[in-house]
A and B are shown apart, each in its own frame.
Chain A
Amino acid sequence: MRRIIRPCGLHCIKINHLGVTLGKQEILKDINLHIHCGSLNAVIGRNGAGKSTLIRAILGDIPHTGTIEFKDRENGHIQKLKMGYVPQSMNVEKQTPVSVYDMIAAYQSNVPVFLMRGKKLRGRIEEHLKIFEAEYLLDKQVCNLSGGELQRVLISMALMDNPNLLLLDEPVSGIDQNGMELFYRTIYHLKENYDLAVILISHDLDYVRKYADKVILIDQSVRKQGSVKEVFASPEFCQVFQYGRGED
């Protein structure tokens, strides 16, 4: 098991004036966020509000304007930000011969996975899977994992290079109510015990209410951000979620 660090509370991530324009359409504009380490930040909004685009822009997958800074609050140093990403799903169909080892090694190493298996790497992967009691999945095919199992594997993978910021897209399918509760508890455990900040796209307002430290309501730009109480009581929130509370 790897050393667990208490969040120091001294680092912060600042997103300044982030904007994304694809073609002629402005998808996000003037997003300003201040994320502290050890906090769970839930991004909510209706479908098509730009939640996934925000995450992809932060990751550098799509071009954006504005800046992302990672600061040490004590001495104001600017450091390189390490990000981990947990996608909603992977592109694997039934019968795809990709094992959990193959998947993780493809992202983590340059030793060709079709040729051989690195003992050292295998040990390292196993060690990280153990954190989420998923080491027994190492040789299973990715396409045969349940939704919850896949999430645990993906989170272990994201933690392998000690990220400062963990970005997650909440799974929407293949996970039952119990699995969802477990997913949120896992995230909660992470932010309590590791030195990292979490940004989570969420579709389930009940879980957000229960677990999030900070809520960011997005609709092209940041409509409202703050504590759960502040955002849930705001007129902007009522306006966005006036139909079908609890899902979007």
Chain B
Amino acid sequence: MEFFSWLQYDFMKFAFLAILIITPLFGLMGTMIVNRKMAFFSDALGHSALTGIAVGVVLGVNNTTISMAVFAVIFALLLNQISSRVSASTDTVISVFSSCSIALGLAILSRGGNFSRYSSILVGDILSITLEEIWYLAGILAVTLLFWGFGFNKLLAVSLNRTLARSRRISAGWMENLFAVLTALIVMVSIKWIGILIINALLILPAASAGNISENMREYHFFAVLFSVFSGILGLLVSYFVNVATGPTIVILASVIYFVTYWWGRKNNV
């Protein structure tokens, strides 16, 4: 078996391209999600995809990606609003909304015993991506890079101390909402390929690993993107040769990187 044999298949070429776009995107977004302690938020967002599809089905929308994205954006803004107003701790509030929305989604989609039609979204299948869909991903990567370039400092300032940021005329609410909306869009555009069950791992693991060994923002971003791309490409190849699902393979590799960096960081006192 030749090593580059996989390149003769179109589906592998497309999957490879998609990985090259999704993984740096997830590495980048992950840094802020980990910094702002929003891991649970992005997890809830992933789960809300089911509800998004269900809403689409009920309303008779053909393109479920659109109904998912619209629902996720509303869900994200709502969560942001509520967790800043309600005095109960944020994780409780998120949990309540997340369970409620996922139950609603499951109930609607399982009506008439039809849920197996949608079960593919739980695990995801990157090998089925088409060229057109890759363009969507590229578009959202461009938007994210733009936002990161113009807004990252402000976002960091808000997450370090809200009042201090406000005192410097940085509109904290706007930045937080923009970030939540962007996270929602990214999760929804990629969820078909990665799968609901593991999408959060792909967001969190590279950034968490990078955090283990970084001392400043430049190292943090560099390593997060590097780990993300590395585990993405290697995961795709391994899954091709071993014949297992791609998403889980990538997450297993990313987890291994996390444990290695954790151990290394401990040893070197980073």
Are B163 and A113 closer than 8 Å at their CB atoms? no
Q: Which residue of A lies closest to B208 (CB)?
A: A95
Q: Which residues of B contact A115 (CB under 8 A)?
A: 149, 218, 221
Q: Which residue of A lies closest to B221 (CB)?
A: A114
A117 and B150 CA atoms in complex are apart in Å by 15
A116 contacts the other chain (CB 8 A): yes
A105 contacts the other chain (CB 8 A): yes
Q: Which residue of B lies closest to A101 (CB)?
A: B216
B7 contacts the other chain (CB 8 A): no
Q: CB-CB contacts of A87-127 with B at 8 A, as 1s and 0s?
A: 10011100111110111011101111111110000000000
- Looking at B161, B162, B165, which has the most chain A CB atoms within 10 Å of its CB? B161
A83 contacts the other chain (CB 8 A): yes
How many A residues, CB 8 Å from partner? Answer: 33
Q: CB-CB contacts of B139-166 with A at 8 A, as 1s and 0s?
A: 0000000001110111011011111111
Q: Which residues of A contact B216 (CB under 8 A)?
A: 97-99, 101-102, 139, 141
A194 contacts the other chain (CB 8 A): no
B120 contacts the other chain (CB 8 A): no
B210 contacts the other chain (CB 8 A): yes
Q: Which residue of B lies closest to A103 (CB)?
A: B160
Q: Which residues of A contact B212 (CB under 8 A)?
A: 95
Are B165 and A107 closer than 8 Å at their CB atoms? yes
Are B218 and A114 closer than 8 Å at their CB atoms? yes
Are B211 and A107 closer than 8 Å at their CB atoms? no
Are A98 and B160 closer than 8 Å at their CB atoms? yes
Q: Which residue of B lies closest to A98 (CB)?
A: B217
Are A97 and B163 closer than 8 Å at their CB atoms? no
A60 contacts the other chain (CB 8 A): yes
Q: Which residues of B contact A56 (CB under 8 A)?
A: 163
A187 and B169 CA atoms in complex are apart in Å by 25
Q: CB-CB contacts of B203-247 with A at 8 A, as 1s and 0s?
A: 000000011101111111100000000000000000000000000
How many B residues, CB 8 Å from partner? Answer: 33
Are B166 and A61 closer than 8 Å at their CB atoms? yes
Q: Which residues of B contact A70 (CB under 8 A)?
A: none
Are A91 and B167 closer than 8 Å at their CB atoms? no
A183 and B150 CA atoms in complex are apart in Å by 36
Using known A-B contacts A95-B212, A107-B157, A113-B152, determine if residue A102 contacts B217 with beta carbons closer than 8 Å. yes
- Minimum Cβ distance to chain B for residue A165 (Å): 11
B31 contacts the other chain (CB 8 A): yes
- Minimum Cβ distance to chain B for residue A20 (Å): 14
Using known A-B contacts A105-B153, A107-B157, A114-B152, determine if residue A97 contacts B215 with beta carbons closer than 8 Å. yes
Are A109 and B218 closer than 8 Å at their CB atoms? no
A131 contacts the other chain (CB 8 A): no
- Looking at B152, B160, B214, which has the most chain A CB atoms within 10 Å of its CB? B160
Q: CB-CB contacts of A57-99 with B at 8 A, as 1s and 0s?
A: 0011100000000000000000000010101001110011111
- Minimum Cβ distance to chain B for residue A72 (Å): 23
Known A59-B166, A61-B166, A99-B216; 16 more pairs at CB < 8 Å:
A56-B163, A59-B163, A95-B212, A96-B211, A97-B214, A98-B156, A106-B153, A107-B168, A112-B152, A112-B153, A114-B31, A114-B218, A115-B218, A116-B218, A117-B218, A139-B216
Enumerate chain B interface residues (CB-CB to A < 8 A).
31, 35, 148-150, 152-154, 156-157, 159-168, 210-212, 214-221, 265, 270
Enumerate chain A interface residues (CB-CB to B < 8 A).
56, 59-61, 83, 85, 87, 90-92, 95-99, 101-103, 105-107, 109-117, 139, 141-142
Cross-chain pairs A/B with CB under 8 angstroms, 17 sampled = A87-B161, A90-B161, A95-B212, A97-B210, A103-B156, A107-B153, A107-B157, A107-B164, A107-B165, A107-B168, A109-B153, A112-B153, A113-B156, A114-B148, A114-B218, A115-B149, A142-B160
Shortest beta-carbon contacts, A-B, top 6? A97-B214, A99-B216, A97-B220, A59-B167, A114-B221, A106-B156
